[in-house]
Amino acid sequence: VEEERMRSQEEGTMVRYDDEDVLPARRGDSLADVLERVLDKGIVVAGDITINLLEIELLTIKLRLLIASVDKAREIGIDWWEHDEALSGGKRKDRRELEERVQRLEEALQGTQGNGELESGKETEGASARDRDEEEADPRDGRA
Amino acid sequence: MGEPSTYRNGSPSTGWYAYGVVQAEDIQDLPSEGLESGRPPQAVVEDDLGAIVSEVDLAQFAEDQLEDNLRDATWLESRVRAHERVLEALINDRPVLPMRFGTIFRDEYGVRALLSRRRDDLRSALDDLAGTKEWGVRAFVEQDVLERWVRRRSATPPPPPGGEGAAYLGARRDQRELELDIERASEDVRRRAEAALRPVARAVRRRGAVASPGDARAVDLAVLLPDDRLSELQRIVADLDRWFRRRGLRFEITGPWPPYSFVTMDLSEDIRAS
């Protein structure tokens, strides 16, 4: 009954498809589509990078943890890891390096020139484009 | 790239990357390209099961190197797509249990030990999948159209007269109510989509993926569908799309996918426990 009602109400604005009533399937070709399934589902054999138990030795990737190099993941449209608590500390090494780098830059700037020069000073100190991307891409860095 | 021996002394420099598990009778006609060129997929058979594997260079997956590789979108994309391509070739004509990306065994004996230890579960999972494929059914939100629909639907009465402060608070309350109404409407759509699909599907699951903003998915379902019901699925989704399009939701079908969403076995506990 409901379906009949749907039909009669919508008839006037019906969207036409090549083959009347059939919606064609699209291959999920985008990298985000593929990654989402390949990384998140399927048989899991081990969650650790290396486990060595009994006679079985497995190397398996804790990808959810490692892909926490946030900038790349977000760049390709993946952000489900942001909701995974296990990842909250996932970028520690990068963050520490970044913080140290920022601190060095700031100290250098303090020593040589006034605050107004901060932006251009940062450029000339050689912070690469990738470093800046990381700063912008991960708001958690700013909070840390 | 370092010598494999710097990663682990005296160990072989290659391992077996596993794509999935099939019945031993289904190991013919394997795709010719795997993760690495010149190392085509092959089967490791144990009893009546076969794992589809190919040799990979372990140094690339070593802990120190891997982290850099995963951050390299080009590296990651080519491997992930290769993994997916192998499985997509396999699902055309046989049931397959897909492994999650990045499962590597040290040697053939590890693969066989796993197959033999969980033989019964793997077999019955394969039997359940016979003659089916996974399809994705999802709907993307056109926010402004959806908002208009929800406003009409909930027919909010005009706010009572009041001062500037009251108007402000009223507006905030309206916004909050609108959000709740949208969430309710979306849940309603999800339920209706699931109910519409269930009669033709072997199973329907909600996928947990959260899309990025501007790409919001109100509906993201995985459907395990018998192969002979595809045109019914397409008709149902076309109906859903026709009905909901004016309400701000555009449906689409993706697939066929390897049945990632319906194979949720975790074999690591099993290994730890034994």
Residue B221 has pLDDT above 90, yes or no: yes
The pLDDT assigned to B161 comes to 66
pLDDT at B234: 95
3-state DSSP assignment of residue B186: helix
CA distance B224 to B256: 10
Per-residue pLDDT tens over the stretch B123-167: 999 999 999 999 999 998 888 888 888 888 776 566 666 677 788
Q: How far apart are CA B219 and CA B139, in angstroms?
A: 5
DSSP at B217: E
pLDDT, average across residues B185-203: 93
Binding-face residues of B in 232-251 toward A, CB within 8 A? 234-235, 237-239, 241-243, 245-246, 251
Measured CA distances, B29 to B5, B86, B89, B158, B169 (Å): 35, 11, 9, 67, 67
- For residues A27 and A7, which has the higher predicted lDDT (pLDDT)? A27
User: What span, in angstroms and rounded, lies between the C-alpha atoms of A16 and B59?
Assistant: 53
Residue B190 in contact with residue B218, Cβ under 8 Å?
yes
Cβ B20–A10 below 8 Å, yes or no? no
- The per-residue pLDDT for range B87-120, each reduced to its tens digit, is 999 999 999 999 888 888 877 887 888 888 889 9
Model pLDDT, residue B174: 81
Where is mean pLDDT largest: A122-126, B172-176, B198-202?
B198-202
Q: What is the mean pLDDT of chain A?
A: 50
B171-185 mean pLDDT: 81
Interface test with B, best of A19, A31, A33, A37 (most B CBs within 10 A): A37
ipTM of the complex: 0.72
Q: Cβ–Cβ of A38/B210 closer than 8 Å?
A: no
To which H or E segment does residue A142 belong? helix A139-143
Q: Which residue has the higher pLDDT, B243 or A107?
A: B243
Characterize the bridge pairing of strands B14-23 and B49-57: antiparallel
Shortest Cα distance from B108 to chain A (angstroms)?
A: 10
CA distance A67 to B100: 14
Distances (CA, A) of A36 to B36, B133, B141, B177: 22, 17, 19, 32
Identify each DSSP E strand in chain B by its residue range: 14-23, 42-46, 49-57, 97-98, 103-105, 132-141, 203-206, 217-226, 249-257
Interface touch B63/A50, C-beta < 8 Å: yes
Q: At A45, is the pLDDT very low, low, confident or very high (cuts 50, 70, 90)?
A: low
Question: Looking at this protein, which amino acid is placed at residue A62?
Answer: K
Q: What percent of chain A has pLDDT over 70?
A: 19
Kindly determine whether residue B212 and residue A44, on different chains, have CB atoms separated by under 8 Å: no
- Residue B223's pLDDT is what? 97
Tokens matching residue B184: 């309710």
Is the pLDDT confidence value at A6 over 50? no
> How sure is the predictor about B80, in pLDDT bands with cuts at 50, 70 and 90?
confident
Q: What is the mean pLDDT of residues A106-117?
A: 64
Please give the full DSSP string across A10-62, using - where no structure is assigned.
HGGGPPPBTTBT-PPEE---SHHHHHHHHHHSSBB--SSSEEEETTEEEEE--
* Beta partners for residue B253, in sequence order: A25, B137
The 10s digit of each residue's pLDDT in A114-140 is 444 444 434 434 444 444 443 334 444
Say how far apart CA B102 and CA A56 lie, in whole Å: 16
* Residue of B59 and B225 predicted with greater confidence: B225
- No. of H helices and E strands in chain B? 10, 9
Among residues B74, B86, B77, B34, the alpha carbon closest in space to that of B57 is found at: B34
Does B40 score more than 50 pLDDT?
yes
Prediction pTM value? 0.67
What is the rounded average pLDDT of the residues A74-94?
A: 43
Confidence (pLDDT) at B199: 97
pLDDT for the residue B124: 92
pLDDT score, position B273: 42
Block residue for tokens 């070739």: B89
> How confident is the model at residue A43, as a pLDDT?
62
Query: CB count, 10 Å around CB of A100?
Result: 10
Share of chain B above pLDDT 70, in %: 85
B58 compared with A22, residue with greater pLDDT: B58
Chain centroid to Cα A104, Å, comes to: 28
**B89 SS3 class:** helix
Contact residues, chain A, for B103 at CB < 8 Å:
43, 45-46, 58, 60
For residue B238, list chain A residues with Cβ-Cβ distance below 8 A.
17, 21-23
Question: In which band, very low, low, confident or very high, does the pLDDT at B214 lie, cut at 50, 70 and 90?
Answer: very low
Of A22, A25, A39, the CB nearest to B101: A39
Q: Looking at CA atoms only, how far is residue B243 from chain A in angstroms?
A: 6
pLDDT tier at B263, thresholds 50, 70, 90: confident
